[in-house]
């Protein structure tokens, strides 16, 4: 896999859009190995703290697929846009459409990714989106769960 943010997100969404487009992007967070491949060390550490803080048997603070902003993934097509690119940080937006669902709020179909460079690799440091136009951030959800 090429190691630049555009290529990383293109690979993630190409996989999420395969077939009926209903597999989603949970594969980037479903195991320690997957997190290590895709996420920054800081985000992995925060996630581990949040998981440790979650009562046994409860669902963690991120109880949906952030890649598709849904419980029921549906990706037909996508477009990756580079918004900010610096030597060691980047922000990209992915807008996508589904086969079945038309979202009422346009903001709900755009997911933003903050990337950081760790050594020679780019890693996802936060994933941000909106539900009914209300913004969310994986990092903020994880941090908030530690306060409860």
Q: How many CB atoms lie within 10 A of CB 26?
A: 16
Range of the domain at 84: 5-145
**Distance from CA of residue 127 to its chain's centroid?**
4
pLDDT tens digit at each of 148 positions of the chain: 458 999 999 999 999 999 998 999 999 999 999 999 999 999 999 999 999 888 888 888 899 999 999 988 999 999 999 999 999 999 999 999 988 767 788 888 999 999 999 999 999 999 999 998 899 999 999 999 998 7
pLDDT in tens, 82-108: 999 999 999 999 999 988 767 788 888
Contact yes or no for 118/124 (Cβ under 8 A): no
The CATH number linked to 31 is: 3.10.450.50
Instruction: Give the tokens for residue 31.
Output: 């195991």
8 Å CB contact between 79 and 6: no
Q: Global pTM?
A: 0.93
Separation between Cα atoms, residue 14 and residue 88, nearest integer Å: 25
Q: How many domains does the chain divide into?
A: 1
């Amino acid at each position: 896999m090429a190691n630049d943010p555009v290529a990383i997100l293109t690979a993630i969404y190409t996989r999420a859009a395969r077939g009926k487009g209903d597999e989603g992007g949970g594969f980037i967070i479903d195991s320690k190995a997957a997190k290590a491949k895709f996420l920054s060390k800081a985000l992995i550490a925060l996630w581990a703290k949040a998981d440790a803080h979650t009562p046994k048997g409860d669902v963690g603070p991120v109880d949906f697929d952030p890649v598709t902003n849904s419980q029921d993934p549906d990706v037909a097509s996508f477009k990756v846009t580079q918004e900010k690119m610096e030597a060691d940080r980047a922000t990209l937006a992915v807008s996508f459409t589904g086969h079945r669902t038309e979202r009422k709020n346009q903001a709900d179909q755009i997911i933003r990714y903050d990337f950081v460079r760790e050594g020679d690799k780019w890693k996802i440091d936060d994933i941000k989106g909106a539900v009914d136009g209300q913004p969310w951030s994986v990092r903020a959800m994880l941090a908030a769960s530690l306060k409860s």
